[in-house]
Structure 1
Amino acid sequence: MPTTTGATPTHCPYCALQCGMNLSPTPDGSVGVSERVDFPVNRGALCGKGATAPALLAPAGRLTGPLARDDAGALVPATWEEALDRVAARLARTRADHGPDAVGVFGGGGLTNEKAYALGKFARVALGSSQIDYNGRFCMSSAAAAGVRAFGLDRGLPFPLEDVSGTGCVVLVGANPAETMPPALRYFDGLRENGGTLIVVDPRRTRTARRADLHLAPRPGTDLALALGMLHLVVAEGRVDEEYVRRRTSGWEEARAAAMAHWPEYVERVTGVPAPRLREAVRLFCAPPAAMVLTARGPEQQAKGTDTVSAWINLCLATGRAGRPLSGYGCLTGQGNGQGGREHGQKADQLPGYRSLTDPGDRRHVAAVWGVDPRSLPGPGRSAYELLDALGTDVRSLLVMGSNPVVSAPRAAHVEERLRSVDFLAVCDVVLSETAAMADVVLPVTQWAEETGTTTSLEGRVLLRRRAVAPPPGVRGDLEVLHGLAARLGGGRGLEEKFPTDPEEVFEELRRASAGGPADYSGISYRRLAEEGGVFWPCPADVDGEGRARPAEGERAAGEGGATGGEWARGVAATTGGPPGKGGPRATHPGTPRLFLERFATDDGRARFAPVSHRPIAEEPDDTYPVLLTTGRVVSQYQSGAQTRRIDALNAAAPGPFVEVHPRLAERLGAAEGDSLTVVSRRGRVVAPARVTPGIRPDTVFMPFHWPGEGRVNTVTNPALDPTSGMPEFKVCAVRVEVTERREATGRNG
């Protein structure tokens, strides 16, 4: 692949676009970033976060040696041997005293596939614990659950981003890519340049909404009613694709009956979206021959997020907009490896390759790869918030890798209290995050450009991130940490041999573990990723000369009663095919950029409608808490801010939290731009300056979630959980807003 002379081609450490970039040494000893135009997703473009990412590599502000808490309660330097000995001893003691499930593991959606795979294996094999989950549960778990429910498979986008520009209409629900993934805007701009229309559903008039042909601003927490209202109109106006529904779906009658209870005037009362605008949205969506619905955290981070996404999928299915060229439902994954992070075993209920912990065949397959008895593998554990809530009671010790729940978890003050209550806390991180600062032992680990590994983008494209620079002395890789802990926990039994430190060796094992599973990586290798720049899964290892996938030995034992994920993957291989083999019986499978074009990943190949109905948010406003709060991101910060808050240029652009309020609400409060506001919920209070704007509903306030301290908005968010996905209701809760101090008195400028 072409690259700048002396540069290392790699990928951005931030969002799930995984933009391509080149890294090069500079004369002053730092690292420079340059365009990598050969990568098709961003074609060289980078947002401010990506352009400043090399600043993360500077030794200043990061951890360069282990820390351990002394008898006086202070974190002091320790050697690696001391730190690993202490972590292993404390985890072993907890396991001996209280059982293996008293030890918890909390991972991250930014970990590479290799590290996510090894962490899940470590929890289940080295610790024997079921108590593992990761912060990706807070990202797109509702969309994943709805995707599996409808299609039999979850992949964020079942088509490449390039298809967005070629479709006729996109309904973008609760997404603000102008701030969360700016290089993706080229595809939405391309859509409109090609004559297509963009509909944005968001309670705020965001930078993205300002580019839309139609902006619908529903009351937070009512996206489900909005989608059902559109489906009602599709039926009432005779826009159902009856032939498609008959041939490629099941469950339509029940879903249609549920939708018909959501007539436009009722939906207007619930959502605040005028019925004529609802009709206009249906007309725009149904007019072209192809269309898409894309969701993000807005509809997903709700206690009914799975049903909400299902309703949008129902709209696609009823109009024949799924499993067809330039049409479909997709989810804009947030975290850098949010997709791969949940595919390979750090999620509470899954084994590598998107296999199920409760399926006997899946357990046998993975146990054989790991060299353990399937009966020794624990069952499913708690979801992320439930795991954090159990700290100090059922879960007594915790290992955290690549996450900062003190800032990112809902009801964050309670989570912070739970973390303080554990017998032992160990954290692996690049910087001394707010969570790491609470730990008994902190282990400094390598980061993106200091290590090689793979990630999987929001498109399902597996990518190779290459090591470009050496880490600072005293820093080790996460794989080395797990290897060292396994050696100590194994008691001389060679357990560490199951945890290699070479990422390519780990990936080779991951390939075997995923073979025949829904997320089949077995046909992908480091060499192939380096040569091709990325491969879409599923990608089986063996295909015959006609491009048909060969089943792995003994694979058909996986799953009973209907098509297994492996059988579906082989079906995909047969329908997408590789080029006919020449001169031999095997061919390389090309990967699968576009899913479901022939059949869905269900037993019968049909997509399933879900009969869902609107229900209220978990916490409706009342006289004490009369306003709705919603949360989100800003363009110059990322997630909990543990990385971006250490970069001067990004802090200058986004120095701190704020409360976005409509002028009418500001007038009722007696508040002006820059006044200090207190936002109070049933769980706590936060303080931040007012930002007065007509671009938000008068009954709603917005706060970004990147900061700790008095502006930590997750102090007040609601941990009510979706019963299917375990997703907390980050996106809406009831609050009251009070003026704390006037700007003139504080001198704050908002």
Structure 2
Amino acid sequence: MKLPVNSELTASRLLVKETQCPYCSVQCKMTVEALAEPVKGEHRGEYSVQGVPNEASQGRLCVKGMNAHQHALSGQRLLHPLIRRNGELETCSWEEAIQYIVKQFQSMKDDYGADTIGVYGGGSLTNETAYLLGKFARVAIGTKYIDYNGRFCMSAAASAGSKVFGMDRGLTFRLSDIPKASCIILAGTNIAECQPTLLPYFNQAKENGAFIIVIDPRRTATAAMADLHLQVKPGMDALLANMMLKVIMDAGLVDPHFIEDRTHGYEQLTYVLADLQLEQAAAACGVDLAQVRQAAMAYGKADTGMIMTARGVEQQTDGHLAVRHFLNLVLATGKIGKPGCGYGAITGQGNGQGGREHGQKADQLPGYRSIENEADRAYVASVWGVDPASLPGKGVSAYEMMERVHNQDIRALLVMGSNPVVSNPNVRLVEEALRKLDFLVVADMFLSETARLADLVLPVTAYLENEGTLTNLEGRVLLREQGRPSPGETLNDWDVLCRIAAELGKGTYFQYDCAEDIFNELRVASRGGIADYYGITYERLRNEKGVYWPCPAPGEQGEGLLFSERFAHPDGKAVFTAELSPGWNEVSPEFPLILTNGRVLPHYLTGVQTHRSAALAARELENFVELHPATAARNRVLDGEWVEIQSVYGSFTVRARVKAYIREDTLFVPMHWGGVQNVNRATRPELDPYCRMPGFKTVAVTIHPLRLVR
């Protein structure tokens, strides 16, 4: 590829008074100061990174945040647009790039219709860009096909919260309430590695006497600090939640007044659980029944309690129902709407919360409105100044978009802030699909695995350079100021969209001078919706350092603790779930092991950013599989050697790590690597029927040492 070689990016003196980490959903605040400028061929730059006190992380930083500036200053940053000529990517001007996009999009619309163009976003984009991406797809292009990588992160918990509570927000409580909980259940979440700056809240809860229960197939760093670890078989979380509820019901530890006054559907649930055989269920879950009873009684007897889930529970083909069964525990005991109580979905991506609220999801309009609701469509259309009838209908989920690319229903694709060739399940199909496209344009900071396939690559700004708001896991909207000038010819994501829209003849709908202009329109578009940002302004965010949503008026403080008096359904009541899940158990003699995946501390998502940080990449240079010593012995695998893991969908190769703290029937592989080390070469394409979440956490596999395969 004919790419320019960039020296390390510098500023005259990089001094960022305040920014925030671009990685996880805590969104820790920090300063970044240049102590010594880099000199090419002599020494690298030296930088000082300090945490800034804030309500979420209280000034703490983890290793990713401490080194985030390294990717922003990397010599691998894309500084100019790249166009493919004669099979190679080479630099071009922005004018040529925009004209090329417009020509291709217009040709697709003329030949096949607007729905032949797809838009694919990301959960790390600012609220302003996420909002504008949805508007761009529906107004500038007119396509129904828009979705984003958050579909692989929060969709199960989001859809469950919407069904049960009438509202989806990551935490129904404030982070500062965690130490007030007497019992905490952490299901499928490894906070110690994924959100480490939150761990002191849980340590403080333990100091206050809290009993902490971790549900996870592995003995993670989070499980190590727990009082009780339930080492559940992957795919059986919903059944485990029902076992715990059955124990609580039988012990008379439910809250009858809360159930009567604030919920629907409890009686039907009791009928469904009446026949649940605890001994059989414990065997199916692979857990000790006595430990399940201990966990249930601890939560049931506690005066205050919290349940938190994350991808371990949610990234399954019954993830929606699994979360709802954990919510049954919350409702049956009345542990919500008061300090020290509630449910929390631990958001993964930096703006995983805000990114799913304002329209880059297939079925949503700004403010968490539904694109299928006529009143919602009419309101948003009035804000945008378009005819409601001109807005396209509901599209499909992210992976289903890839299927439509594969069968060429979608012929052109704009990818912004995502790397689908690594993050999707069944990536062999995704790779084939992207190669079939007539036109692929990718906006990114680096030449990601997806960008390498593109016809056009657009260089965009990093977290130090773009201004905008992000919403952390507790629903607190934060402002990230621009900290340094944009390097080279990089543009903010939203600016790219506005330039394309203008050349498409839709410029009157995309006239903004800065991110704040977009946010002010977002405020109006979200007004009256579930995720109401109307009362939040940049001025307030600068002065108050964050505001919770919903915040319907400028004089209001926003709600940190939700559901203290009523839930978000029209009648104010929450809904129990009586529909059971069969769980997942599809291993066979040919594929006898369960493959699950997850995160590790030094890396983030598909590694596009963290692999460009020398300090982070050095901590984990390559991918690996964790397997139990007994499993290793049965499969003749030696610690440290390369192995092949295979399912019916495909295979990948990684290095083995033999560890005693994982179940014998389970393999664990991180998700942060592409190429031959990509775990998603073996994951299955089945989706949750409710939320379209792929089943990343469960696939039947076999493992072989490569020395034997040869």
TM-score class, shorter-chain normalisation, is: over 0.9
The equivalent residue for 1:703 is 669
1:477 and 2:492 are equivalent in the alignment: yes
The answer for the alignment partner of 1:26 in structure 2 is 35
> Do structure 1's residue 43 and structure 2's residue 58 form an aligned pair?
yes
- Could you tell me which amino acid in structure 1 is paired with residue 529 of structure 2? G
1:598 aligns with 2:537: no
Aligned to 1:307: 321
Q: Do the aligned partners of residues 496 and 482 (structure 1) sit closer, same or farther apart at CA in structure 2, a change above 3 Å counting?
A: farther
Cα drift, residue 41 of structure 1: 1.4
Question: Given that residues 123 and 350 in structure 2 are in contact (C-alpha distance below 8 angstroms), is that contact kept between their aligned partners in structure 1?
Answer: yes
Amino acid at match of 2:272: A
Give 1:497 shift.
4.5
Q: Aligned partners of 2:87, 2:52: CA distance in 1, in Å?
A: 50
Deviations 1:371-408 (A, max 9, x none): 00011111110111101111041111000000001111
1:132 to 146, 155, 165: 146
Instruction: Output the CA distance in 2 between the equivalents of 1:136 and 1:79.
Output: 32
Q: Is the alpha carbon distance of 1:35 and 1:166 closer, same or farther for their aligned partners in structure 2, counting shifts above 3 Å?
A: farther
Counterpart-to-counterpart distance in 1, 2:630 and 2:50: 45
Deviations, residues 263-308 of structure 1 (Å, cap 9, x unaligned): 3212112101111011000111122201011000011000110000
The equivalent position to 1:418 in structure 2, one of 433, 458, 476, is 433
Does structure 1 retain, via aligned residues, the 8 Å contact 2:26–2:473? yes
Q: Which residue of 1 aligns with 2:458?
A: 443
Is 1:725 the counterpart of 2:710 in the alignment? no
* Structure 2: distance between partners of 1:430 and 1:485: 18
Distance change (3 Å), C-alpha of 1:33 and 1:527: farther
Q: Using the TM superposition, name which of 269-278 and 505-514 deviates more.
A: 269-278
1:244 to 244, 250, 258: 258
The correspondence for 2:556, drawn from 589, 613, 625, is: 589
Deviation at 1:659, TM superposition (A): 1.0
Secondary structure at the residue paired with 2:564?
Answer: coil
CA deviation map 1:235-265 (0-9, x unaligned):
1111111111001111111122223333321
User: Counterpart of 1:614?
Assistant: 581
Query: Given the alignment, which residue of 270, 283, 292 partners 2:306?
Result: 292
- Whether contact under 8 Å (1:69, 1:75) holds in the other structure is yes
CA offset at residue 26 of structure 1? 3.4
Look up the match of 2:125: 111
Is this contact kept in 2: 1:515–1:541, CA < 8 A?
A: no
Paired position in structure 1 for 2:233: 219
Decide whether aligned partners of structure 1 residues 6 and 480 sit closer, same or farther in structure 2, where only a CA change above 3 A counts.
closer
Q: Distance in 2 between matches of 1:403 and 1:31?
A: 30
Choose the corresponding residue for 1:465, options 471, 474, 480.
Answer: 480
State the 1:612 CA deviation: 2.3
Give, in angstroms, the shift of residue 31 of structure 1.
Answer: 7.8
Bigger shift: residues 53-62 or 294-303: 53-62
Pair 1:242–1:660, CA change in 2 (3 A): same
1:456 — aligned with what? 471
Report how far residue 76 of structure 1 moved: 0.9
CA distance in 1: counterparts of 2:50 and 2:532, whole angstroms: 31
Moved more, 670-679 or 136-145: 670-679
User: 1:598 Cα deviation (Å)?
Assistant: 0.7
Aligned-residue offset at 1:610? 1.1
Q: Does 1:531 find its partner at 2:543?
A: yes
AA aligned to 1:716 is: A
Contact 2:15 2:31 in 1 (8 A): no
Please give the alpha-carbon distance, in whole angstroms, between the structure 2 residues aligned to 1:719 and 1:31. 45
Q: Which amino acid aligns with 2:460?
A: V
Matched letter for residue 438 of structure 2 = D
The one of 173, 195, 198 aligned to 1:159: 173
Offset of residue 483 of structure 1 = 1.1
**Partner Cα distance (2:479, 2:207) in 1:** 32
Change (3 A) 1:640 1:7: closer
Q: Tell me, what secondary structure is at the counterpart of 1:353?
A: coil
- Unpaired runs of at least 5, structure 2: 1-13, 39-44
> How far is 1:511 from its partner?
0.3
Among residues 517, 530, 534, which one is paired with 1:522 in the alignment?
534
Residue 360 (structure 1) aligned with residue 327 (structure 2): no
1:706 to partner: Cα distance: 0.6
State yes or no: 1:271 paired with 2:285. Answer: yes
**SS class of match (2:361):** coil
Deviation at residue 97 of structure 1 after TM alignment? 0.8
- SS of the equivalent of 2:512 reads coil
CA distance in 2, matches of 1:220, 1:60: 41
For 1:510, the equivalent position in structure 2 comes to: 522
- Are residues 1:681 and 2:619 paired? no
Partners of 2:647 and 2:415 lie apart in 1 by 28
Structure 2 counterpart of 1:283, from 277, 282, 297? 297
- Percent of pairs with identical residues: 47
Alignment partners' CA distance in 1, 2:270 and 2:611: 48
CA contact (8 A) 1:483 1:501 kept: no
Q: Aligned partners of 1:714, 1:26: CA distance in 2, in Å?
A: 41
Alignment check: 8 A CA contact 1:621 1:627 kept:
yes
SS of 1:183's equivalent in the other structure is helix
| Cα shift at 1:499 | 4.4
Looking at structure 1, the residues matched to 222 and 162 of structure 2 have their Cα atoms a distance apart, in angstroms, of: 28
- 1:319 and 2:286 matched: no
Residue 325 of structure 1: how far off its partner (Å): 2.3
Give 1:44 shift.
Answer: 1.8
- Do structure 1's residue 432 and structure 2's residue 447 form an aligned pair? yes
Partner amino acid for 1:387? M
Is the Cα contact below 8 Å between 2:439 and 2:455 reproduced in 1? yes
Equivalenced residue count is 690
Q: Secondary structure at the match of 1:721?
A: coil
Distance 1:657 1:25 in 2: 32
Q: After the TM superposition, which residues 72-221 of structure 1 pair with which residues of structure 2 at under 5 Å, given as runs?
A: 72-221=86-235
Amino acid aligned to 2:623: P
Q: Given the superposition, is the C-alpha separation of residues 463 and 274 from structure 1 closer, same or farther in structure 2, using an over 3 Å criterion? A: same
Give me the whole-angstrom Cα distance separating, in 2, the residues matched to 1:277 and 1:143: 26
CA distance in 2, matches of 1:541, 1:253: 39
The answer to whether the 8 Å contact 1:23/1:31 transfers is no
Letter in 2 for 1:183: T
Matched residue type, 2:418: S
State whether structure 2 residue 658 is matched by structure 1 residue 692.
yes
**Matched letter for residue 735 of structure 1:** V
Q: Post-superposition shift, 1:445?
A: 0.5
Structure 1 residue 25, shift from structure 2 partner:
3.9
Does the 8 Å CA contact 2:247/2:297 hold for their aligned counterparts? no
Which deviates the most, 355-364 or 126-135?
355-364
State the alpha-carbon separation in 1 of the partners of residues 683 and 25 from structure 2.
Answer: 24
Q: Secondary structure at the residue paired with 1:106?
A: strand
2:15 and 2:619 mapped to 1: Cα distance? 32
Please, which runs of 5 or more residues in structure 1 have no aligned partner? 543-587
Distance in structure 1 (CA, Å) of the matches to 2:46 and 2:57 = 21
Preserved contact between residue 592 and residue 700 of structure 2 (Cα < 8 Å)? yes
- Residue 18 of structure 2 corresponds to 9
Residue 179 (structure 1) shift: 1.0
Residue in structure 2 matched with residue 64 of structure 1 by the alignment: 79
Counterpart of 1:531, as a letter, is N
- Counterpart in 2 of 1:712? 678
In angstroms, what is the RMSD of aligned CA positions?
A: 1.5
Tell me if the contact between 1:109 and 1:336 (Cα under 8 Å) persists in the aligned partners.
yes
C-alpha displacement of 1:36: 3.5
Letter in 1 for 2:543: E
What's the counterpart of residue 382 of structure 1?
Answer: 396
